[in-house]
């Protein structure tokens, strides 16, 4: 069974943080910033789900992460997305195709940033 973890992009702060608590009935999250627990409403954040996978360096891969990966000898960059219809993670790659995150053809994945804090990586500005 996949481990359930969540990060959140805090719109006002422009950063991604680990989520300490989710209050679904109150529609809020709690995160620990600068030695203080702070509560944010769901409207103030974008929640990012853990894929259950790690990159070649042992870094956990979350929705919204930008990964560099090899597909049959071709080096690609893409962002981790979640498909609500199929209920699975995929990589929206810079070659215009989508790749299943757990696919056997994808090797040597490496997290190089995330779409919020490093959007230039998706524009090819490495």
Q: pLDDT tens for residues 32-58?
A: 999 999 999 999 999 999 988 888 899
Both 65 and 105 in a single domain? yes
Adjacent-strand bridge partners of 18:
7
Q: Does the structure show a pLDDT above 60 at 125? A: no
pLDDT digit string (tens) for 62-93? 999 999 988 788 889 999 998 888 778 888 99
Cβ contacts of 77-82, under 8 Å, gap ≥ 24: 77/112, 77/121, 77/122, 77/124, 77/126, 79/115, 79/122, 80/51, 82/49
Q: What per-residue confidence (pLDDT) applies to 86? A: 75
Residue 74: give the domain boundaries.
59-123
Rounded to 5°, angle at Cα 75 from 72 and 79: 110
67, 116: one domain: yes
84 in the same domain as 41 = no
119 and 72 in a common domain:
yes
Q: Edge-to-edge, what's the strand order for the sheet holding 36-41?
A: 21-23, 28-33, 36-41
The residues near 104 (Cβ < 8 Å, ≥ 6 apart) are: none
Q: What is the mean pLDDT of the chain?
A: 88
pTM of the model: 0.86
Note whether residue 54 is domain-resident: no
Same domain, 26 and 76: no
Q: How many domains does the chain have?
A: 2
Tell me the three state secondary structure of residue 12: coil
Contact between 38 and 94 (Cβ < 8 Å): no
Q: Are residues 66 and 40 in the same domain?
A: no
């Amino acid at each position: 069974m996949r481990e359930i973890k969540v990060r959140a992009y805090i719109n006002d702060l422009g950063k991604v943080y680990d989520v300490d608590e989710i209050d679904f009935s109150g529609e809020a999250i709690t995160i620990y910033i600068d030695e203080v627990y702070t509560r944010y409403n769901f409207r103030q954040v974008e929640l990012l789900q853990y894929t259950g996978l790690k990159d070649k360096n042992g870094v956990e891969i979350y929705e919204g992460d930008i990964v560099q990966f090899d597909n049959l000898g071709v080096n690609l960059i893409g962002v981790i997305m979640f498909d609500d219809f199929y209920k699975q993670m995929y990589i929206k790659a810079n070659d215009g195709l989508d790749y299943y995150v757990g696919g056997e053809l994808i090797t040597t994945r490496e997290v190089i940033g995330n779409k919020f804090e490093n959007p230039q990586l998706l524009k090819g500005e490495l």
